[in-house]
Structure 1
Amino acid sequence: MSFLRLLWQIPVAFFAVSLLSLFIHEYATARPSVRTKDIPYVKADAPDFDAERHVLDVYAPKQKAERPFPVVVFIHGGNWDSGSKNLYSFIGRRLAKQKMVAVIINYRLSPAVLVPGMADDCVRAVLWTSQNIAEFGGDPNRIFVMGHSAGGGLAALIATDDRLFQTFGLTQNPIKGAILDDPAGLNMFDYLQKMEYPNDEQYLVPFGKDSTVWRAMSAHYQVTSASPPMLIYAGSRTYPSIASSTQKFHERLRELGVKHDYKVLPGKKHVGMVTQLYWQNNLIYRELRTFVGAKS
């Protein structure tokens, strides 16, 4: 009987050790960085201020540097109707550990707002970053955007459509480059016209029924020869719509002569494309460090 009891305890002990190891790893990862949580990037007296969604977290390296650190603003995914910056603290910590200042943002979601409102929020978060990031050791002249899934589509959009910044009084787009991780929504104009996949009608909620909005919110049609450089990654086992739109976006960038690198990562599904960022030495981080000019 005692032997059986011991066998039953082995999985419990293994689980406890695994949790302890994970905690130790997270603590070791967090130690080199300082996290400042829930900073409003929209003024509280703004008519559309959302106390939960108009906030961001900053992760900064603890060590001082002779030169300010490059800055990466990360935009989460979630089908345009879900998601939170709080799920991506591991990205903030790993970027900070690799001598970058990370800004992980929330933005308003559907059905409360349509995608144009989300794009405005992302622009306002970048605007806040350009005005305040020096206080955290970041370089306001080296701001890059990064996103996964819907966040990747938003990152591509605000990196390529300078008019979004002009709405908020900026004559020049401060984004110096974009890192797109299995981005969704690069060409919703084409996607919503075709409606090729089951339940595609759900995207009429965040994008609305006006086809001019679909086109305006599609980075595929906003990119120009003057657009900033990009790193683009897609999983070989991602959704067919993402695989197709990412490939076509790559071809569009190539036609326009926009500097970029496009890779399809073998065996990766859509979710796996972001969960791999838990490990700091994966391919995306290695290439990202060079791309933003982070010192090793």
Structure 2
Amino acid sequence: MKKVLFLLLFANVLSAQKMQTLTYFKNDTLQLDLDLYMPDKKPSGKLPLMIFVHGGGFSGGQRLQNASFCQYLAQHGFAAATISYTLYMKGKKFSCDGILTEKVKAFKFGVNDLWLATSYFLQNKEKFNLDDSKIFISGSSAGAETVLHAAYWDRNLMKMYEHNLPPDFKYAGLVSGAGAIMDLNLITDKNIIPMFFFHGNGDGTVPYGTAAHHYCKTDASGWLMLFGSYSIYNYALAKNASAELYTYCGGGHEYSGWLFEKEQQKIVDFLEKIMVGEKIQSHTIVKTGKKNELSCAYGFCD
């Protein structure tokens, strides 16, 4: 028994040695760090990179959330980083009784921090042996909202810092766990990228389809219309783009991190197909045994 415990402890130490904490942005008032996980074995070529953004309503959470996802990716030949970012809503209201402009500003801070992290990796691509044409982004809940807007917002119009991203830079793809975007029109034929979604269709926090954030009434001070995974997926199909959706039938917001935590191989499969140029258009409905008014509105619970 003691030998087994020692081996487990030794394995954990080795695993910890593969992770390095780095500062990707610093000014007089702010320091932003990330944890970078690299493969054990020296690769034959340059590495694809995944940048992960944690959830927490832009007010909580930490980059250690879903560190296991980054470790899993590193074991499968990816460089993977999980980042800290500005939690602008800390101490503020982010629900129906919040302030709309403040909610949008929270998105903007998260997106700009992700752009800064991306810029950091582009500037250090030789140091980390990265393939700059294979940079992916992912996140759950608030992190998913961050990656969706980072992919499709106008970087000049919405920038808060000089991120130094090339004008023609595009992410190779994104993974969104219970995410949403403010406007489908942000996604165009020119900027659309491959997308992987998973979402509970009974989510009462971030809409699975098209609805207000938290399903707020229209007279609420924090009313914000959002287009969730199902709406974006169908929009992508209409543009004949690559998109994959896992619908957790009856599931709520607790499924926002499900595949990052429990079924990472499904994400790896998607990424590997995208990297070899395969077209993906797939919708998988997963029964959870749960049922509520929101989920059954889509007809998947029959």
Q: TM-score, normalised by structure 2?
A: 0.68
Once residues 266 and 283 of structure 1 are traced to their aligned partners in structure 2, the CA distance between those partners, rounded to angstroms, is: 18
The amino acid that maps onto 2:30 is: D
Match of 2:177 in 1: 181
The amino acid that maps onto 1:84 is: Q
Give the one of 248, 254, 257 matched to 1:271: 254
- How far has the Cα of 1:85 moved from its partner? 0.4
Match of 1:91 in 2: 69
Once residues 91 and 111 of structure 1 are traced to their aligned partners in structure 2, the CA distance between those partners, rounded to angstroms, is: 25
Contact preservation (8 Å) 2:177, 2:198: yes
The amino acid that maps onto 2:235 is: R
| Deviation per residue, 1:178-216 (Å, 9 max, x gap) | 111221x423xxxxxxxxxxxxxxxxxxxxxxxxxxxxx
Give the one of 226, 229, 237 matched to 1:246: 229
Contact preservation (8 Å) 1:162, 1:172: no
Identical-residue share of aligned pairs (%): 18
Moved over 6 A (4+): none
Match of 2:57 in 1: 79
1:43-58 equivalences under 5 Å are: 44=26, 46-47=27-28, 49-51=29-31, 54-58=32-36
The amino acid that maps onto 2:167 is: T
Contact preservation (8 Å) 1:32, 1:96: no
The structure with the larger Rg is 1
The amino acid that maps onto 1:68 is: K
Once residues 275 and 157 of structure 2 are traced to their aligned partners in structure 1, the CA distance between those partners, rounded to angstroms, is: 21
Flag structure 1 segments of 5+ consecutive residues without an equivalent.
1-15, 188-217
Flag structure 2 segments of 5+ consecutive residues without an equivalent.
91-104, 210-227, 277-302
Contact preservation (8 Å) 1:77, 1:151: yes
Is 1:116–2:112 an aligned residue pair? Answer: no
Q: TM-score, normalised by structure 1?
A: 0.69
Give the one of 18, 21, 31 matched to 1:34: 18
| Deviation per residue, 1:133-190 (Å, 9 max, x gap) | 432232222101111111111111111224259953421224111111221x423xxx
Residue 135 of structure 1 aligns to a residue in which SS? coil
Match of 1:139 in 2: 131
1:1-296 equivalences under 5 Å are: 24=8, 27=11, 31=15, 34-37=18-21, 39-42=22-25, 44=26, 46-47=27-28, 49-51=29-31, 54-111=32-89, 114-164=106-156, 167=159, 168-169=163-164, 170-183=166-179, 185-187=180-182, 218=183, 220-226=184-190, 227-239=192-204, 241-244=206-209, 245-266=228-249, 268-279=251-262, 282-292=265-275
Contact preservation (8 Å) 2:204, 2:253: yes
Once residues 123 and 186 of structure 1 are traced to their aligned partners in structure 2, the CA distance between those partners, rounded to angstroms, is: 17
- How far has the Cα of 1:111 moved from its partner? 3.2
